A and B are shown apart, each in its own frame.
Chain A
């Protein structure tokens, strides 16, 4: 067990980092060539598009997932009737795979059959919703599907965080006449810092890994306009037979994830050092 973990998690990771500095093509090759692969990577148009796409999609996805998840949690916290029913509805997409999510939304957003054609059929002949085939908008189509899949998860974590806040806080805030929304924003939210940071880290590392959803929804298209790094790696690794590029790209992904982990480490391990 220990051996497997050491071999796989440490061994394989080191192997990938090492061979990202070699001129491997279809098969791994030992010739060390320094940072050449990385230089080539960042000069490749396809990679630059992938990275920019991920950045754009990631920023929007992160902000919307967190905000929508939090707002839903706050609404659910208002002693709502049928709370269990609504929670079930908000969370069920999370149980589904990225492939299923992608395919369903592909169908709804299909301009010739989905929402657009339905609205046109109902009389709005100028109604246009072609994001999925539109180079400039396809990332937002991805966002719609991504939010559908992931916000329920954030809501559940946030709701758990809200419920863990001491009820006395609420009484005190009410006595002081602080409006509910300010209590949430300025008192309760900072108190659940731990939950927020954990959720943030999980959502971020999920975004970096985004793969299935893209494969099923757009397969990177139209053109390269929804290509993402995770897909770039797989394509170069197994289809294009350019292993060096794939390994360099995945090492960049690894670095990104570790940078994103820093805030979590500070929250998880920081205070204990002072104690």
Chain B
């Protein structure tokens, strides 16, 4: 039996037009450039030292070993101590969790106040916040060292947590303000008429309606704080260095044989948290950076 279907509509264009070949060509080459470091990191971390010395960095490992990973986590030397990255990881966790929770909460309340409970000078306050997000950190660093020293928290985890919370404010407040401004004002007014107060409206109406923006803010803060180096180095004190600082100490310490496989394993371990956040949150991460960048 033969099928005699008449072709209808325009002839489908060949997939392999010159333009498409060039387009895909460039995209694939670009993708290789972006993937290369990840590939090098992973393969190097799985090789033994002799193989690194004699092979090339792009060759896949001949003998897969997880020893560098174990060493990076438990016994690599960061400066004077040799306890691996594990303490740094836990320091980063201890810094990131409270800073994220507090800064997101305070920013949500501030954004809500800026939209729904305008006070005298709230516009001025908002402009200061906006400009604040562009001031280089170096400008405010020394006075903050003095303030935290006065508070007797300099060189402790509390200092880093406080600093991250403060510097998270501008961008997060901006996010929440713009989001709350896009919600219908009638809801707020109706709740006011019904006699609900500041906190009740916030917790029972605003928060449940703004879970998406909370997700975005949390992603921004977790990745941002985890990746920080400067504040960790300045405020945390040697005992409390976050993972990024310890990583840099492991890799750039001058003494002894450079163990590139351990270094790469340590780098992957430090990158793991933001990478997991990135891959798991997917579109939310993209939405987060777009929202963080574009002022509404």
Q: Which residues of A contact B (CB under 8 A)?
A: 1-2, 4-13, 15-16, 28, 71-72, 75-76, 78, 80, 86-101, 103-108, 113-115, 117-118, 121-122, 148, 152-153, 156-157, 160, 195, 198-199, 201-202, 205, 208-209, 211-212, 215-216, 219, 230, 233-234, 237-238, 243, 246-247, 249-251, 253-254, 257-258, 261, 268
Contact = CB atoms under 8 A, between A and B. Distances in A.
A215 B274 CA distance: 20
Nearest to A7: B147
A16 B143 contact: yes
B294 A103 contact: no
Contacts of A7: 147
A234 B38 CA distance: 30
Interface string B162-182: 000010011000000000000
A51 B139 CA distance: 16
Interface in B223-248: 223, 226-230, 234, 244, 247-248
B97 interface: no
Nearest to A157: B293
B140 A117 contact: no
Contacts of B53: 113
B247 A103 contact: yes
Given A88-B279, A122-B56, A195-B294, A108 B128 contact: no
Contacts, number: 217
Interface residues of B, number: 76
B41 A97 contact: no
Contacts of B31: 86, 89-90
B251 interface: yes
Given A90-B30, A99-B229, A216 B274 contact: no
Nearest to B275: A95
B37 interface: yes
Per DSSP, chain A at the interface is helix
B247 A250 contact: no
A103 B248 contact: yes
A211 B248 CA distance: 13
A185 B16 CA distance: 25
A90 B30 CA distance: 8
Contact of A251 (B52, B139, B234, B289): B139
B136 interface: yes
Nearest to A230: B138
B140 A12 contact: yes
B23 A104 contact: no
B274 A96 contact: yes
